[in-house]
Every structure is written in C-alpha cells, then in structure tokens.
Amino acid sequence: MAPELGIFALILAFILSLSQAFFGLTGAWRGKPVWMAVARPAVTGQFVFVVMAFACLVYSFVNNDFSVLYVARNSNSQLPLFYKVAALWGAHEGSLLLWILILSIWSLAVAAFSRALPLTFSSRVLGVMGLISSGFMLFTLWTSSPFLRLIPAAPDGADLNPVLQDFALAIHPPMLYTGYVGFSVAFAFACAAMLEGRLDQTWAKWTRPWTIFAWLFQTIGIALGSWWAYYELGWGGWWFWDPVENASFMPWLAGTALIHSLSVTEKRGIFKSWTLLLAIFAFSLSLVGTFLVRSGVLVSVHSFATDPTRGLYILAFLVLTIGGSLTLYAWRAPKLYAPGGFELFSREFFLLVNNVILAAVAALVLWGTLSPLVYELLGVGKISVGPPVFAVMFLVPMLPLMVFMAIGMHSVWRRGKLTATAKPLWWLACAAILLSLGVQGLVFGELHWLGLLGFSFGFWIIFSALLEPLRRLRQKQTLTAALLGMCIAHLGVGMFAIGASGVESYKIEKDVSLKPGGSFRIAGYDFKFVSAANVRGPNYDAVQAEVQVTRGGKPVTLLEPQKRHFWVQQTANSKAAISVNWARDLFVAMGDPLGDNAWSMRIQYKPLVRYIWLGAIVMALGGLIAATDRRYRVKVPAAAPGLVTPPDSRAELGSA
C-alpha cells in the first residue's frame, strides 16, 4: 500500500509543481495577481505531498517491505535501523527522491521568506523553481521510480553496500544535496531578475543570504565526503580528484565566486551580468555533476547504476536549463549594463581577481574531468587524467589567490588603497614565513617547498583575517556579522592551506606485511601487531587486529582495525583504526591474510590532516555568521517595482 501511496503523492506533487511554474511565470508575465497568488499555496501543497512520498519510502524501508524493488535491492532485515533509513539515498532512485525533498524544502523556505519581495518577482522565482522541481519529478516518475513493486517479493534484501554503512556517508548526501539544490535558488533569482529586466542592488541583497546558505551546506557536504573517503575507503587519502568529487567541487568553486561577485553587485551595482552568469553556472555545474554521476559516462568510484535513458533525460534537461537560461541571458544581460569605475587595488579589483581565478580553476577542473570523454570521442585513445595534473591545475592559481585574499581583506571600495589596519600586513608576512620555517624545522625536521608555501600563506591569511576583528574589539567598535563572517571564513581557508600542504608534504604511507609480534616504525612511532581475533557485528563477522603504538617505548595508543566480512553481500570491507590528536593522525587499515599468520597492513602517519576538514567547518561557520547579518533581513514590503536604492558609495569594510 505504501509504495502506491508514494507514487500517487509524487504525481500530485508533480502536478502542483507544474501549476506552481505555470501560474508563477505566466501570472507575473500577464500581471495577474490572482494567478500569482496560486504559486505559494502550490509550493506548500507540493511540499506536503513530497514529504508524504518520502515518508512512504521510509516506511517501506523500516518495515522491510521487500516487495518494493528498490528496498529489496538496497536494504536487508539485518541492517541496523539507522542505515535502513540512510539506505533510502544509498542508490540512484532514492537519492533522486531526496533531491526532490530538499528542493521542496528550499522552495518552501523561499515561499515563506519572500513575502516582503515584490509579488511579480517572488512569483517568478517560485515559477522557475517549479520548473526545476517538475523536471526532476518527471525524471523520477518516468525513469527512476523507487516505488516499483517486485513480484514475487524477495525473501530478504540484497543489503546496503557495506562501504555506505557509515555515519558520515549517511549524512553526506543530504548535506551535499542541500548545497547543490540550494544553488537553484540563486539560479531562480537570476532568471527572475532577467525576466523582470531589472537587476539592482536590492536584488543582490536578497540573493546573497540564499547563496551563502547553499554554499555553506555544500562546503560541509564536500568535507564530509572527503572525511568519509579518508577513513572508510581504507586508502587514507582525503581527495582523489575523482569525477564525482570534481562534480561537487566545480559548483562549489562557481558558488564561491558568486558569493564574492554578489558583494560587488550589492555594494556598487556593477559586475551585474557576470554575477548572473555565475548564478547560472553554479546551478548548471550542479546539473552537470548529476549527469556525470548518473549517466555513467565517466568512470568513478561512485558510479551508480547506469542507464542510457536516464543519461539522455538528464542531458536533455541540462541542455534545456543551460540553453534556456543562457538565451535569456543573451537577450537580457546587455540591458543591465551599469557604468561605474574602480581603481586598481580597490576592493572591486580584488574581488574581480578572486572571480577570475576561481572561474579559471572551475574551468580547468571541468576540462580535466571531461578530457577523457573528449579523447575517446576523437578516437585518440582511452585516457585518464591523474591526480598530479589536477593538483597542479588547482595549486598554481591558488597561490596568487591566497596572496590577493590576504591583502584584499583590507582593501576599500572604489579607491585603490588599503585601510590603516593593513599596515602590519607586510611584517606579518615575514612573521608567517619565519613561523613556517620554524614549524618545518623544529616539528618536522625537514624543509619541503609545498609545506613552505602552504604554511606561509596559511599563517599569513590567518594573521590577516584576525587583524580587523581584533582592532575593532580593542577599540570597542561594532563588528558586523558580515565582516566577522568574512574574516572567519578566510581564517578557515588558512587552516585548510596549512592542513592540506602539511599532510601532502610530510605524510608517510607504508604497506607492510606483519605477523603477530612483529612491528614497524614510521615517523618515530612503533606499530606493533599484537594479535588478531574474530569479532562479530550486527550484520558482519570481522577479524580485528590489535596494534599497539608506542613512541620511544612509551605507549601512545591501541588501535583496533577490522577486516569486516558482510554476510549478505559477501563483501569484505576494512575498517581503519585512527588515532587522532591536534597534530597528527595515526592510521592503520588491514589488508588481507598473506598466509603464514601474516597480514598486509596499511600504516600511515598523517600530520595536520584534521585541519583540512576543520578548515572547511570554519569556512562554513563564517558563511553562517555572515548570512545572519541584519542587512539581509528584508523587513518591510518596501521595494515596489521600479524602486531602486541609491548606490552605496561609502567606502565600507566587511561586505565581501
């Protein structure tokens, strides 16, 4: 009963989203308030029915209804309850339903918080979002329904893929999707502004908090994915430049650029068409990501089931969305030209540099991700682009970006000179280099060019980010949420730079063969394989090794990695054991029994690796603080069509 109800609810939601799109868009076009008034209730209705459809699938999972094909494929009666629910988005069909649910939550939020906006504008925004959700619902109903029955029912399910039975991965897709889908709001705002033919600074002010929220969720989502890959896949790497990772990283880059260019559009009323283009790209890259993941055109560790129909549908949807929005852009953007100059080394200049570099990196990553396809289509051969290529493409533009970031935080609008607070910046740069040399020499005992660059830039950015908030605190001046958020987010970038360059410079990774009693030393730590024993989990058996870690004879920690064998899928999965502290991770993962009582083991020393994810969390926190700035709260329904706030010409700090 539940799956049928689910399908029915999804069809109703589809019809409601169609009417949301139709009445929202044509109502605004024809200027009919009665039509436009339909859009909001349609959003609410759509939300209710999507939640119902989602609940039906959750119900089927929790109750082990293996007469539902999707449940039978992705769950099992022995699966712990938490993973039964998480299994819902463990494969293609269910993750689409999650996507739709999140989109309807965003739509509901937009509907709820856009009452202060002009009616035509908000109904256009909701109309565009209705188009997007109806596209995704049609896709789900047509090619990927999770509610199909399996007759006769399976006696038990095929189980969730063991590598997905993990906490971080259970919450990674919802976070990432919240980010992906959130860019649809910025996209809808951009389309609505173009349809309206009006894009002023209030528009940017409305769009900014939405974009920041989407961006911060995506930041967390990507960090979770990276953390998961690090401890769960058993390789100990934190980023693989896998097509699917790139698919999430490209919209993030475009979204980061968008946040910065929106600040110029808001403060100065310039960069308008560029901002629009970025809003279109951020969402389009999210769709490209979906296409790459779901169609199976690229080899990836994340490849879900591949199906040509699905690939074709997403491709068509992609062409329609990107083609449609770019056509609209070509038609409307020339009207939006706003004259306005700025000096070299003004804040506008620094943000322009930020945008150009981030866009270039996104383009390079896109090129690297797609070039295997291009090579194959050209018949040159089957190639793969290795991580070193991506590392160079990422690192080379990032170095100047970090310099511009450290200085740009202290620039002012219009005029090409820095604030008085920036005076210590130059000797702080020297201090950062000295500190970096000191850390390398004293802690790691070895100089490494990547470490030198990463530490120096990282420390410099952190110092620079702290300057202004500290000055204001000392002089008891007000510190706006936007300024504080900006500084904290940049502080996170500094932490990330230190973590990433530290682990890449000083990591030690060894694959060894150990017998009980044998030990191996890396980075001064002795890893002693004490014994191996059989243990039993809720749905697996495992061999658990006891590895004692000592340093100079003093005990450090006891690590217990497992090699799990899952009953249902008959697959092995190694669970790494990691000892964490503020300076380093010690990582042990079990390989295979090598005969003669020996086991292959992967032993790793990962200095500073935690600062990668901590940096990402701090970045997201900065976004959260900035988004709560009072400036973004639209209180009165003041902005009647045509009303334009005067350009804000004050040389004000703290809005980037």
Q: Which residues bind another protein (CB under 8 A)?
A: 161, 163, 234, 296, 299, 301-303, 305-306, 341-344, 349, 352-353, 356-357, 360, 364, 367-368, 371, 381-386, 388-389, 392-393, 396-397, 400, 511-513, 515, 569, 571-574, 589, 591-592, 594-598, 600-602
Q: Report d(CA 569, CA 176) in Å as an integer.
A: 27
For another protein, the closer CB: 269 or 615: 269
Query: At its nearest, how many Å lie between another protein and the CB of residue 593?
Result: 10
Q: How far is the CB of 240 from another protein (least distance, A)?
A: 10
Distances in Å between the Cα of 89 and the Cα atoms of 2, 11, 228 are: 18, 20, 16
Q: Which is nearer to another protein, 102 or 253 (CB)?
A: 253
Tell the burial category of 12 from Cβ atoms under 10 Å away from its Cβ (0-12, 13-18, 19+).
middle
Query: Both tokens of residue 628?
Result: 């709560």
Q: How far from 620 is each of 143, 516, 629, CA to CA, in Å?
A: 35, 44, 15
- Least Å from the CB of residue 34 to another protein: 47
Contacts of 229 (CB under 8 A, 6+ apart): 235, 237, 238, 239, 240, 245
Q: How far is residue 265 CA from its own chain's centroid?
A: 24
**What is the residue whose two structure tokens read 């400036």?**
631
Nearer to another protein, 315 or 389 (CB): 389
Q: Which of residues 478 and 570 has its CB atom nearest to another protein in the complex?
A: 570
Q: Based on CB atoms, which residue is closest to another protein, 356 or 433?
A: 356
Read off the tokens for 560.
């217990």
Distance, CA of 320 to CA of 297 (rounded, Å): 20
3 state DSSP class of 540: strand
CB atoms within 10 A of CB 512: 17
Q: Which of 28, 603 has the CB closer to another protein?
A: 603
Nearer to another protein, 11 or 572 (CB): 572
Beta-bridge partners for 605: 508, 586
Distance CA 578, CA 109 (A): 40
User: Please, which residue, 55 or 158, has the CB nearer to another protein?
Assistant: 158
Tell me how far, at minimum, the Cβ of 589 lies from another protein, in Å. Answer: 7
Pairing of strands 540-551, 519-522: unpaired
34 vs 378, which CB is nearer to another protein?
378
Question: Looking at beta carbons only, is 324 or 516 nearer to another protein?
Answer: 516
CB of 7 to another protein, least distance (A): 22
Q: Which is nearer to another protein, 596 or 640 (CB)?
A: 596
Nearer to another protein, 167 or 367 (CB): 367
Q: At its nearest, how many Å lie between another protein and the CB of residue 59?
A: 25
**Residue closer to another protein, measured from CB, 333 or 391:** 391
Nearer to another protein, 388 or 642 (CB): 388
Query: Minimum distance between the CB of residue 505 and another protein, rounded to whole angstroms?
Result: 19
**Least distance (Å) between residue 299 CB and another protein:** 5
The Cα angle at residue 175 between residues 169 and 625, in degrees rounded to 5:
135
Residue 382 CA to residue 25 CA, distance in Å, equals: 45
Minimum gap (Å) between residue 368 Cβ and another protein:
7
Inter-residue long-range contacts of 34-37, CB under 8 Å, 24+ positions, other chains counted: 36/119, 36/120, 36/123
Structure token digits, residue 390: 């991506």
Query: What 3-state class would DSSP assign to 77?
Result: coil
Nearest to 370 by CA among 290, 301, 298: 298
Residue 107: both structure tokens together: 């739509």
Q: Give least dist CB 377 to another protein, A.
A: 14
CA-nearest of 163, 145, 55 to 96 is 145
Give the H or E element holding residue 548: strand 540-551
In angstroms, give the least distance from the CB of 594 to another protein: 5
Tokens standing for 487?
């500084």
CA–CA separation, 106 and 457 (whole Å): 37
CA-CA distance, 365 to 253, in Å (whole number)? Answer: 10
Residue 357 CB, shortest distance to another protein, in Å, is: 8
| CB-neighbour burial class of residue 531 (10 A; exposed 0-12, middle 13-18, buried 19+) | exposed
> In whole angstroms, what is the distance from residue 214 CA to residue 632 CA?
15
Q: Annotate 79-90 with b (16+ C-beta within 10 A) or e (fewer).
A: beeebbbbbbbb
* Minimum separation from the CB atom of position 171 to another protein (A): 18
Q: Which residues contact 384 (CB under 8 A, 6 or more apart)?
A: 299, 372
To another protein, the closest distance from the beta carbon of 396 in angstroms equals 5
